[in-house]
Amino acid sequence: MALAPHAGNRDSADDKEHGEEPGQLQRSLAALIERQEFPCVGAKSALAQGTLEIVTARSITSACDDQRIHDALVQWSAGHEPDEKVFRSFAVVFAGPTSLTERAFEEALWARLGSLIVKDGQRGNDYDPAYSDDPNDPHFALSFGGRAFFAVGLHPRAARRARRAAYPTIVLNPHDQFERLRAQQRYERMREVILARDEEFDGEPNPMIARHGEVSEARQYSGRQVGEDWQCPFSPKDLS
């Protein structure tokens, strides 16, 4: 399978300091997705078609690369047309830390997402009007450059095997491609396939999966199993 992701630029001194080359970080994510048993057929399609954009960064617990990540994300999003027939994803693979617990990873994930949301607003981008900016709202979604996104967090210590990557990773999927699948009456079938593959991969169903509009999708982002009393680490108040 040809691998054609695009790596974000990163200073070579930083690469040496953190011990990982951008190419190695990219290949680690591609290797996970290429595993035959990996359940997400959307990610497999994006990788196979060369429409998986991969940028690399240093620490998921640091804001040092947030501006560059936001620049790359907005530029990539602007080149994505909602009526495209291909599946596209934007991924950020961080060099570390690789020892974060599920809860610590969730906190770091939301620190990065929250920072990106704040930067998006500071640049004058409106929130996608079709979605809520409140993580407690069932109609919540992330929004960058005026377009809604769904996030998937991956990391070495994830409880579910499908979320277990070699390095901390955030994958962002544009919501409009899910809406396109719904309009084509293909969404439910794709969802069933992914859920069945995920259950086979892990040996049990994923208890966190829910349809958009039933409960907030924010609960699913980190991959950690949470209860009804879960509170998102990020709040719209952080935008003010």
Please write the tens of the pLDDT for every residue from 80-138.
776 566 789 999 999 999 999 999 999 999 999 999 999 999 999 999 999 999 999 99
Query: In the prediction, which pLDDT does 177 show?
Result: 81
**CB atoms closer than 10 angstroms to residue 23:** 12
pLDDT of 208: 66
Q: Can you read off the two tokens belonging to residue 191?
A: 């969802």
Separation CA 89–CA 77 (nearest Å)? 10
Look at residue 1 in the predicted model and tell me its pLDDT: 27
CB 174 within 8 A of CB 197: no
Structure tokens at 4: 């054609």
Residue listed under structure tokens 């809406």: 179
CB count, 10 Å around CB of 214?
8
pLDDT tens digits along 159-198 = 999 999 999 999 999 988 877 766 666 656 777 877 788 7
Tens-place pLDDT, residues 22-81 = 899 999 999 999 999 999 888 999 999 999 999 999 999 999 999 999 999 999 999 877
Closest CA to 141 of 127, 154, 126, 120: 127
> Which residues share a beta bridge with 151?
172
Residue 199, phi then psi, degrees to nearest 5: -65, -40
Mean pLDDT value across residues 204-220 = 76
- Residue 4, pLDDT score: 37
pTM equals 0.87
pLDDT attached to residue 204: 81
